[in-house]
Structure 1
Amino acid sequence: LANDAWRHVLNQSAGYVVGKFEQPTLCSSGWKHNKSFGDYFTINNIKTVAPYVTETQKEDTEQKSSVTFNNLHICKELVEALDRINIIHPTTVQLQTIPKVMKGHNILCAAETGSGKTLSYLLPIVNRLQAEKKPHMYTENSRKIHTLVLVPSRELAEQVAAVSRTLCAPFGLLTRTVGGGRGVGHIKMVFKRNHPDILVATPGALVKALFSTIEPKQTRGLVHKAQLLVVGATFPGGVGEVLKQVTDLGSIVVIKSKMLHFLMPHVKQTFLKVKGADKILELNQALKLLQHEKGGGGALVFCNKSATVNWLGHSLDEMGVQHARLQGEMPAAVRSGIFHSFQKGAVDVLICTDIASRGLDTSRVRLVVNYDFPESHTDYIHRAGRVGRAGGVEDGEVLSFVTHPWDVELVQKIEIAARRRTSLPGMESEIHDQT
């Protein structure tokens, strides 16, 4: 960890690890005092390559043999579809998960952000659907929903559906989405012709669909016959109690990343103690630095409330900073397509709430700014995980503004976890790797 000049005595080398019971001297120890404004410290990255990159991928850069998706017994049409989008080598989580999904196991996959979890479940799903499809399954009005993918936001639903459509294209399989913010009439239109093979939905929209469009007989026996895949980057305590309500825990094969709930070792993370009134100036400076000295790239600026997103957007307008805004209180028609335009590079700065922190592909993002410090370690992990993703830029950074005393308490726990090289406190769960 590195600190500013006047507290350089607290600097520690990247390789130094504090013992489990040793009480470290923290850079942020005095941050509840007003005189600490302007102080900062940085958790420097100790790796240049993400931990979910496999050893075979690293070796491939040295012209050695490597594992490809052919080794996972994925059909050639899917391998070719991946080749067209320049995905050649499976990540660690894909190597571990895909074979087990293909064998029909119920799966709980708990792996760090950006490790390629979407393909871990979509590839074997599409591979199975194409292998089992029969001609009579696709006559007019005869389709049935074979796969349901449930995700937390409309933006993630559209992203997962886009990946699914790419994989399904060679086989004529149909993917559709239903997202929040839409009325029953819109949802009925989605199912007017026939049901998709793969439905990607948000929870609220799914409830509307179940009660207004999907025949009850199609969901009867779902718990007993369906294969259950639970996938995520954070699994705090209580997950087991929830899963027990829908399945036998003994039937679930757990795949748990070694870096689950850890700070990302390949991403530089800086914490700045700053007055609330000065945050806008610090943000503007960070954005200028990104564009003029670091070669440009995407920036995600996270706020805790929709009102802050709107206010900050107006302030950046006055400063001449081009940006887009994304928050949950926007009407569905306004919100639609905003994140996609950011992904495509139409705008480099996106001001958002946590709806943009879960699962979304942000491979072009080079800087994440926590304008408001996140309210929990879970939120911090997801926000920070928007950089350093599979296939993304390799020099991503996270900058967090620390203003309130309750922010300092979370920062100190993060700093201790970094020095001890342990998972973040309060993120322990009953999930244990059974592989």
Structure 2
Amino acid sequence: MGLQPALLTALRDLSISRPTAVQRVAVPALRRGRSALCAAETGSGKTLAYLLPLLDRLLARPAAPEEPEEEESRPRPASPRGLVVLPSRELVAQVGAVAAALCRPAGLPVRGLTGGGAAGGLRRQLRAPPPGAAVLLGTPGALRTALRRRFLALGRLRWVVLDEVDALVDDESFAAPLEQILAHAPLAAGAPGPGGPGEERTQVVVVGATFPAGLSQVLARFVDVDRFVNLSTQSLHRLPPHVQQKFIRLKGQDKMPELLQLLKERSASSGAVLIFCNSASTVNWLGYILDDHKIKHLRLQGQMLAAARAGIFASFQKGDVSVLVCTDLASRGLDTSSVQLVVNYDFPSTLRDYLHRAGRVGRVGSKMPGVVVSFVTHRWDVDLVRKIETAARKRAGLPGMDTSINEPPPKAG
């Protein structure tokens, strides 16, 4: 694929030798500097699909040295050349670890930025050694605060990635910070690029397994979406054929006994379990019940304090505890290759959410195919189940998913 030797060294160290389908599609296009929508099924290797070509472009054009700071002056803001915006601190840690491994042989410094503490904590994250962050990964709120406080400047940005973009655009708490981040970057049509008027504009890459309605309208305020290329795989929006989907129709009061039975039937060697709930309160309540039954588990939901959330998912990934009770916070992008059972304790409210949850098993690098078990209790769940069953039987994509950034919106009926 023509990648820089330092990146090939990093891939060899990671024992990666063959590209996945999305990487074969995305790497050549992104190396050419195209702004793109990169759409591929969950667990297909999208992180490397965008990091490899974008890091390759940074290595091909080394940064001009920054002038040294004067001792008396205010510290200069961090000025990354690459930015990845992600919807959770867990994803920042995960993608940041991959980026750091790829950048290590090339000596490119990588930095992660997450909020939840005092603003001084953001400054410390940005100024931690080694100096200068060539690549910055962060959550929308932390990035917005760093920009407001002038700890961060985006004038040198050569590329920006919006990863798990449906979570970024659909979550009301992210929408305003995301727009302010885009407004600070040199993206606008006609604006000079980071190297001056003669250079191309900042490359924008939008990544996900599903895409929100209205995405093109959000982006069109900052970038020329007609210039975007659509990169997608044939398996997009399809349920993985090697993952079994089970639906159990039962009354609400029978869900807990059914869950306990499922957990007690598992052998110690049968892999990790993700249990999805639709609300933080259900996660907490379920946790108390599992405690009563002496079932060791972890909990993860967005209302937890940042300090409480730190390290929970990493502990689950390492296998310290094999059961995680969570909200959809854990359904987006996180590497769950050890998971062999997903339980939808609460049935998801949309097909998109179902697709993301089901994608936690049968991922690239996982050894076992996995099973998704869904508890179906409401009449309105049954309609979604029928659509899922039809799509699985026909080996077709789930209905109603957007696949392009620049298709015209449907005409009003």
Per the shorter chain, which TM-score range? Answer: 0.7 to 0.9
Deviation at 1:246, TM superposition (A): 2.3
Instruction: Note closer, same or farther for the CA distance 1:429–1:88 as it changes in structure 2 (3 Å cut).
Output: closer
TM-score, normalised to structure 1, is 0.78
Aligned residue runs from structure 1 range 119-158, under 5 A? 119-133=48-62, 136=65, 144-158=79-93
Q: How many angstroms apart in 1 are the aligned matches of 2:121 and 2:63?
A: 30
Query: Is the Cα contact below 8 Å between 2:315 and 2:321 reproduced in 1?
Result: yes
- 1:307 partner amino acid: S
Counterpart for residue 253 of structure 1: 229
1:210 equivalent in structure 2: 147
Name 1:56's counterpart in structure 2. Answer: none
Checking the alignment, whether the CA contact within 8 Å between 2:37 and 2:207 is kept in structure 1 is yes
**Which residue pairs with 1:115 in the alignment?**
44
Which deviates further from its counterpart, 323-332 or 119-128?
119-128
Matched, 1:272 2:248: yes
Distance in 1 of aligned mates of 2:381 and 2:118:
38
Residue 76 (str. 1) matches residue 52 (str. 2): no
Supply the AA of the counterpart residue of 2:236. L
Relative to structure 1, the CA distance from residue 302 to residue 111 in structure 2 (aligned partners, 3 Å threshold; closer, same or farther) is: same
The one-letter amino acid of 2:140's match is P
Deviation at 1:287, TM superposition (A): 2.2
Q: CA deviation at 1:214?
A: 2.0
Tell me the CA shift for residue 421 of structure 1. 3.5
Deviation at 1:184, TM superposition (A): 1.8
CA distance 1:320–1:414, change in 2 (3 Å): same
Matches within 5 A, 1:270-419: 270-291=246-267, 295-419=269-393
Residue 201 of structure 1: aligned partner: 138
Structure showing greater radius of gyration is 1
Question: 1:374 and 1:174 mapped to 2: Cα distance?
Answer: 39
**In 2, are the aligned partners of 1:111 and 1:256 still within 8 Å (CA)?**
yes
- Cα distance in structure 2, aligned partners of 1:167 and 1:342: 24
User: SS of the residue aligned with 1:330?
Assistant: coil
Moved more, 204-213 or 258-267: 258-267
Give the Å deviation of 1:179: 1.8
For residues 287-328 of structure 1, the C-alpha deviation after alignment (integer angstroms, 9 at most, x for no partner) is 233325xx3211111111111111111111111111111111
Q: Structure 2 vs 1, CA of residues 175 and 427 (structure 1 numbering), >3 Å: closer, same or farther?
A: same
RMSD: 2.2
- Residue identity opposite 2:233 in structure 1: S
For 2:106, give the aligned amino acid. F
Between 1:376-385 and 1:408-417, the stretch displaced more is 408-417
- Say which of 186, 197, 203 aligns to 1:221: 186
CA distance in structure 2 between the aligned counterparts of 1:432 and 1:216, rounded to whole angstroms: 26
Residues 96 and 111 in structure 2, CA contact (< 8 A), matched pair in contact too: yes
Distance 1:139 1:172, change over 3 A: farther
Question: Any unmatched runs of 5+ in structure 1?
Answer: 1-71
Partners of 1:343 and 1:232 in 2: CA distance: 22
Aligned-pair CA distance for 1:370: 0.6
1:106/1:228 contact within 8 Å kept: yes
Q: Which runs of 5+ in 2 are unaligned?
A: 70-74, 157-183, 192-200, 408-413
SS at match of 1:382: helix
Contact 2:36 2:205 in 1 (8 A): yes
Deviates more, 1:319-328 or 1:80-89: 80-89
Q: Rate the CA distance shift 1:137–1:98 in 2: closer, same or farther, 3 A.
A: farther
TM-score in terms of structure 2 length: 0.82
Query: Against the structure 1 CA distance between its residues 74 and 216, is the aligned structure 2 distance closer, same or farther, given a 3 Å change threshold?
Result: closer
Change (3 A) 1:139 1:97: farther
Cα deviation per residue 1:80-132 (whole Å; 9 max; x = unaligned)?
22222221111010011011111111111111001100001111122222232
